[in-house]
Structure 1
Amino acid sequence: MTHVTPLLRRYAAGLTLLLLLLNTALAAPPVPAPPTIAASSWLLIDYDSGRVLAEHNADQRLEPASLTKIMTAYVVMREIREGNVGLEDQVLVSKKAWKTPGSRMFIEVGKKVPVKDLLHGMIIQSGNDASVALAEHIAGSEQAFAALMNEEARRLGMYDTHFANSTGLPDEAHYTTARDIAKVAAATIRDFPEFYPWYSVKEFTYNKIRQHNRNKLLWRDKSVDGLKTGHTQAAGYCLVASAKRDGMRLISVVLGTGSENARAKESQALLNYGFRFFETHRLYGAGEALTRVRIWKGTREKLALGLEKDLYVTIPKRQYKNLEAAMNIEPRLMAPVDKGEKVGTVNITLNGETVASVPLVALEAVGRGSLFQRARDSVLLWLE
């Protein structure tokens, strides 16, 4: 059973389904091709809808350099959230952590440093020494911590990623893709809103040494609020950036650019392209009743249907009026039905092309009816 409906609109009295018949659908203006990006691999996605707006070699396995620390920080944040580690916990700096090469926050061997300072030093200053100190404190060794990183990667669907260390220093067994690193960036924004603002901090001082955040876009574009830079000779200059304008958030990834300025310039070009030519809309909210349908042989006659998650779509600008929603619902729904059980789909189309398709679920449970209710409904079904 298919119901073609307009998008839900809010009224003071509640939510009502309206059928919008677009007699004259406007032809969609063509979206220009993405800008030419001087990078080995790159990706631009909308944070809310997950739609990829532009990409090149996004599934190519490459060294991530210090972009690795987005996952390192994610694991640390999860450990803090779960109560296994506290921000004020004192971390004893090992010789291994102290002597780790590359960028550092200049911690000293044998000294104790709060987790909070190490996390700042890793995120803002890209300290390899801080990364190793945190890894050893949480898991006992950097190798054991890398196993936690890989476990999180699998959970987040980063199937083309493997971490061999917490820093991003070169290792043949250490790689990711632009698509995968965007997933942990989005997860950081979604899962840890209390920590994400740390990625926008422009400088951090530790041990009387002040260092600036290497993400140049934090100074160039006020809409940019994260995330992380990276660089090794093999990886080139890399940047994962996120920006929010007028309620729309984009995430860009560039891997393998030629310089610090290039990674900022190419990231800015991607973000500007996305904001210039696309817009994102929240169509339906999680748990909102989109419709109520007849359910047979149950303890009640009507069942509310909706979505488990908010539904966002990203479309070319000025095309919202041409969106249509179709609900495909299983015919003759029979009790019992569990809350959250899939009973159909919601399909969103733009000028005839599908832009989203999500499960339509029961918003409440309906138990098996009494003998009388089942017998009555059997007769009614027979008479249909």
Structure 2
Amino acid sequence: MGMFARAAATGFVACLVLGLARETAAANPTIVVDAASGKVLEAHDATRPWYPASLSKLMTLYTVFKALKDGRVDGGMPIAISPRAARQAPSRMGYPVGTMITIDDALKMLVVHSANDIAVALAEGVSGSVDNFAAEMNANAKALGMAQSYWVNPNGLPDPRQVTSARDMALVADAIITQFPQYDQLFRIQTIRSGDSVLRTHNALVYRYPGTDGMKTGFTCAAGFNVVATATRNGRKLITVVMGAPTPKERTNQAVALFESNYDNQGGGLFTSAPLAAQLPASAYAAAPDMRDIACNRKRGGDAAAESEDTAEVLPGKAQEASAASPLLTSWTVAPPVEVGPYVGPRRPLFKLPNTPILADLPARSTTKQARAKAGAETAAGYAETSKGMAMPSQLTDPKLNKGRKNLKKLATEKTAGKKVKPAAHAKPPAKPSRHKKHHPDS
């Protein structure tokens, strides 16, 4: 086949894929925004309430970025995996309770692996509890003009109260791009390595669609397959949001189709140049739909397996199938992994959380599986979860241990004063000295 014939055939297939993807896109909310001007280039049901799933983590990232900017925390600060964090459903890193990680590493795990346990650890580390962090998320969303959004958790695991819209997700993506450009590279990471595990991003666009530089996918049965994606071509960055696609493949193809059809679109007077938050009218829909019958009719395990099933899109065995589906996607090119893992720095106390005591020194963590398991088991024994979900050493809350400390202090004080002290009724009598000292070198 000649060069022109091949070009014509490729063009026909590309147009066919774009057309099919755009027909599918009409069934679910989408929006495309010019990042530089904030102008809406294309939108369909963009203000309709929708379950965000793991797109919630973009709001979590924005809230953590603000805390870093305000100096409340720093990137090298270690945070702990609490019992509440460890109980989160997949996708997760799976570190034992008590494992320490830095905020910098936590951000990478959140973006690349969409780790639900890490989202909770960040929330507790930054704001003291999940409830406090959710309140900050809502305050930030209101300040950004996110009219359809309400947050109750930092990871997007199913909760009927947690809703957003395609327009609102474009708003937070635009805010991250414009307010925190120093974190651009974070969203370009394709793989991370923690110990023996190499984890690849759920977002196939990052390594298969030229120019993609972020941001985040999300999936639950109720939400369907969501994505907020950014891509740059000839210096122009677009933000594309797809909500509720029926499969990960269709989510990717819809995003590609929207990028391709809007790179040369300057708006055409369709929408005003007003701020993004004011460009689209409110939706006529009052509540988010449940996509379970469409997105999960072939799945087992329902929402409990939700986010982890995004990985079906990025397994190497699917490369040929995905390439045939969209000739606009390039071959798979995955960069070497970025190292992350448990905190291995010198021993140091944790930072002081609001209204809580400073946690005791914790040993440095090893990256080996055996050492992590041993250290996690040792630390877990000293942790208790308060009603707010905070992880605190049990010796600070155990009344028996505290009573014992008081008794010891009292005994020491009375002994210093020269008083004879009777042993406590429950105290064990001292052991009799052995007659064979040579067998007891420590006696």
Report if TM-score (shorter chain) is over 0.5: yes
| 1:44 counterpart = 2:50 | no
Check the 8 A contact 2:39/2:273 in 1, yes or no. Answer: no
Partner of 2:220: 232
Check the 8 A contact 1:44/1:250 in 2, yes or no. Answer: yes
Q: Deviations over 1:38-70 (max 9, x none)?
A: 352111111112221211111111100000000
**Alpha-carbon separation, structure 2, partners of 1:167 and 1:116:** 17
Counterpart secondary structure, 2:137: helix
Shift of 1:354: 9.3
Q: CA RMSD in A?
A: 2.1
Counterpart secondary structure, 2:92: coil
Which residue, out of 219, 223, 244, partners 1:256?
244
Partner of 1:35: 22
Counterpart secondary structure, 1:121: helix
**Alpha-carbon separation, structure 2, partners of 1:315 and 1:44:** 10
| 1:201 counterpart = 2:189 | yes
Shift of 1:85: 0.6
Partner of 1:292: none
Q: Sort the Cα spacing of 1:53 and 1:354 in 2 relative to 1 into closer, same or farther, 3 A.
A: closer
Partner of 2:285: none
For residues 264-343 of structure 1, what are the structure 2 equivalents within 5 Å?
Answer: 264-275=252-263, 277-278=264-265, 314-315=266-267
Which residue, out of 173, 177, 190, partners 1:189?
177
Shift of 1:37: 3.5
Check the 8 A contact 1:160/1:176 in 2, yes or no. Answer: yes
Which residue, out of 53, 57, 81, partners 1:65?
53
**Alpha-carbon separation, structure 1, partners of 2:272 and 2:43:** 18
Partner of 2:84: 96
Counterpart secondary structure, 1:194: helix
For residues 344-359 of structure 1, what are the structure 2 equivalents within 5 Å?
Answer: 356=273
Shift of 1:357: 7.5
Shift of 1:36: 2.3
Aligned length: 256
Q: Sort the Cα spacing of 1:95 and 1:268 in 2 relative to 1 into closer, same or farther, 3 A.
A: same
**Alpha-carbon separation, structure 1, partners of 2:218 and 2:257:** 19
Q: Deviations over 1:4-48 (max 9, x none)?
A: xxxxxxxxxxxxxxxxxxxxxxxxxxxx99932435211111111
Partner of 1:106: 94
Partner of 1:247: 235
Q: Deviations over 1:247-269 (max 9, x none)?
A: 11111100111111111111010
Counterpart secondary structure, 1:167: coil
Partner of 1:222: 210
Q: Sort the Cα spacing of 1:356 and 1:162 in 2 relative to 1 into closer, same or farther, 3 A.
A: closer
Counterpart secondary structure, 1:35: helix
Shift of 1:173: 1.0
Shift of 1:209: 1.6
AA aligned to 1:36 is E
User: TM-score normalized by structure 1?
Assistant: 0.64
AA aligned to 1:198 is L
Partner of 2:121: 133
Moved >4 Å (runs of 4+) = 353-358
Check the 8 A contact 2:39/2:272 in 1, yes or no. Answer: no
Check the 8 A contact 1:254/1:267 in 2, yes or no. Answer: yes
Check the 8 A contact 1:105/1:122 in 2, yes or no. Answer: no
Shift of 1:356: 4.5
Q: Sort the Cα spacing of 1:356 and 1:140 in 2 relative to 1 into closer, same or farther, 3 A.
A: closer
Counterpart secondary structure, 1:113: strand
**Alpha-carbon separation, structure 1, partners of 2:220 and 2:197:** 23
Looking at secondary structure, tell me which structure has more helix per residue: 2
Check the 8 A contact 1:91/1:133 in 2, yes or no. Answer: yes
Check the 8 A contact 2:40/2:267 in 1, yes or no. Answer: no
Percent identical among aligned pairs is 35
**Alpha-carbon separation, structure 2, partners of 1:87 and 1:167:** 20
Check the 8 A contact 1:66/1:168 in 2, yes or no. Answer: yes
AA aligned to 2:143 is R
Check the 8 A contact 1:59/1:160 in 2, yes or no. Answer: yes
**Alpha-carbon separation, structure 2, partners of 1:354 and 1:264:** 25
Partner of 1:177: 165
Check the 8 A contact 2:41/2:271 in 1, yes or no. Answer: no
**Alpha-carbon separation, structure 1, partners of 2:24 and 2:190:** 26
**Alpha-carbon separation, structure 1, partners of 2:274 and 2:64:** 35
| Gap regions ≥5 residues in structure 1 | 1-31, 279-313, 317-349, 359-384
Shift of 1:315: 4.3
Partner of 2:148: 160
| Gap regions ≥5 residues in structure 2 | 1-17, 276-443
| 1:74 counterpart = 2:59 | no
**Alpha-carbon separation, structure 2, partners of 1:93 and 1:60:** 35
**Alpha-carbon separation, structure 1, partners of 2:94 and 2:83:** 12
**Alpha-carbon separation, structure 1, partners of 2:75 and 2:267:** 41
Q: Deviations over 1:88-143 (max 9, x none)?
A: 10111101101111211222211111111111100111000000000011111111
Counterpart secondary structure, 2:64: helix
